Structure 1
């Protein structure tokens, strides 16, 4: 049994594109990652950016997966920053474990030929085949997108008080947040220190173009008995046309950790989200942060999408 990869014939591109578009939209709907027309719009924008020149787009390669002349499916890949990204993996037939192993071997060979040393795949919670491919083959969770919907009413009395961040506090917060996010990007294995610094700065400027006065951004300090114990940053979004809050940063001060403030601040984030009209709240967490993942899941957050990384 030998799994082989070959370029998608040009006369199959239109059919592949239509099928892939429908698949990507369905994965977002079925996982709950996006709802309604949001999924269609996001996928169309994604495809337009990633395949600006169709099959001739130099940054993307679409390959067929074959086993002894039998067509098993397709894989869409892109390479960047030393990582081979599996943008989409679509099986036309249900593969067995040998065929999954064969695909990984073929991808390893492709990666070696293109001088990349890691393979990455993002898998939605509704993508059983994607999960089966990543399971048991050395992939590690690099990051997770999570959602809590609806935001529950909890009876627990507030343990921390959150107050709007002042412009004076914002200056030090922004610098520390950008540096910490860059460090996390490096720790996740997806970026070099240099690229992480660039990406962290790009995202900070994108979210906070006008600093603390940026529209849709809510920044707080968390206090206990008048002493600051952490910071909280919520970005307001929409989800299916309804207000949605996203936790962009939450940090307990180093000297205040292991006292339950992380949980208390997440509950405060939920309360603030509701006050801002949000019916749902989402967040991103790096895979190495096991304690945070346990906390979020204990509060009812569910995994929408996981990005896996394999060092080869």
Structure 2
């Protein structure tokens, strides 16, 4: 019999939710993206947000993946303009190559039925079954969450001066940062340019409601011989009950690139984190930014979660 995707029986929803909750917690803890109760709280908030009406939620569909009389697993889907998103793909056991092929064909067909030209898949670095499903099928890494833990000891004198950003510098920084982030969102394929601009503005407003005075946000300018060479934005968060830093933006002035200042600002972020009591730093990078990825990995950052995107041919 052919592989089929059928709506999950509503009577199974509570059991599915419980299993999926445990899976989400385990994936984030195993990857190191979240630890302890942070992973539990994140999974609960995630499920509550995306499934507010339980099995009756209209914005999600949960399908049973069946091959003959056997259930291979489940797939949780949601759609947005132009994109079919796989929120979670769970296999009860390793599927065969032919079963992966059949599932891929079924999901692509479903995307086309929804007039979507992109298929999005999240991937925890410890989720080998999902990785096996997407490999060799034309997916590209759209974005990466990375982590540096613990902070290394660097025997190196700073080559740049990093100081708190002046209030009068903030408006031009905010406009440039918001614009650049919107362009990267659009280039990643996750948003249209118009939607990317809306999302970028939403995030900027949410993260920095009080500009340079926003509590828990540290904005800096980097200078060499009195000339600005870049900006650094570090958010102060909590991870496993301990202080944690997150690099929200780092930018070297275009005229100052290829001089090692990007690396120097990353090292400055480590000093900021350590001064604030943190022993870990996280960041997000778009998959197309190969230069930045190489820099971060060279400094010891590791991937904890990725998002992959497939552009579906006509």
TM range (shorter): over 0.9
Quote the residue 2:13 is aligned against.
13
SS in 2 for 1:59: coil
Matches of residues 69-108 of structure 1 in structure 2 within 5 Å?
A: 69-108=69-108
Query: Which residue is 1:44 aligned to?
Result: 44
Q: Deviations over 1:56-82 (max 9, x none)?
A: 100000001112332111000000131
Which SS does the other structure have where 1:212 is aligned?
helix
Q: What residue number does 1:255 align with? A: 255
Question: CA-to-partner distance for each residue in 1:178-234, whole Å, 9 max, x for gaps?
Answer: 000001001111111110010000000110011111110000001111111000000
Partner of 2:34: 34
Matched, 1:244 2:244: yes
Deviates more, 1:94-103 or 1:283-292: 94-103
Deviation at 1:284, TM superposition (A): 0.1
My pick for the range that moved more, 140-149 or 63-72, is 63-72
1:176 and 2:176 matched = yes
Once residues 139 and 112 of structure 2 are traced to their aligned partners in structure 1, the CA distance between those partners, rounded to angstroms, is 17
Q: How many residues align?
A: 312
**CA deviation after TM superposition for structure 1 residue 4, in Å:** 1.4
Once the two structures are superposed, what CA deviation does each residue of 1:241-270 show, in whole Å capped at 9, x if it has no partner? Answer: 100000000000000001111111111111
User: Which residue of 1 is the match for residue 201 of structure 2?
Assistant: 201
Partners of 1:101 and 1:120 lie apart in 2 by 17
Structure 2 residue aligned with 1:122: 122
Q: For 2:131 and 2:298, how far apart are their aligned partners in 1?
A: 22
Match of 1:58 in 2: 58
For residue 154 of structure 1, report the CA deviation from its aligned partner.
0.3
C-alpha deviation, 1:14, in angstroms: 1.2
Moved more, 35-44 or 63-72: 63-72
Cα deviation, 1:76-116, whole Å, max 9, x if unaligned, reads 00001311111110111210121111111000111111111
Q: Distance in 2 between the 1:98 and 1:169 partners?
A: 57
Q: Distance in 1 between matches of 2:227 and 2:150?
A: 31
Partner of 1:225: 225
Give the secondary-structure state (helix, strand or coil) at the position aligned to 2:93: coil
Aligned-residue offset at 1:132: 1.1
- Aligned-residue RMSD, C-alpha: 0.9
* Matched residue SS, 1:103: helix
How far has the Cα of 1:2 moved from its partner? 2.7
Partner of 1:275: 275
CA distance in structure 2 between the aligned counterparts of 1:64 and 1:106, rounded to whole angstroms: 12
* 1:285 counterpart residue number: 285
**Partner in structure 2 of residue 137 of structure 1:** 137
User: TM-score, normalised to structure 2's length?
Assistant: 0.98
Q: What SS is found at the alignment partner of 1:300?
A: coil
Secondary structure at the counterpart of residue 52 of structure 2: coil
Moved more, 280-289 or 262-271: 262-271
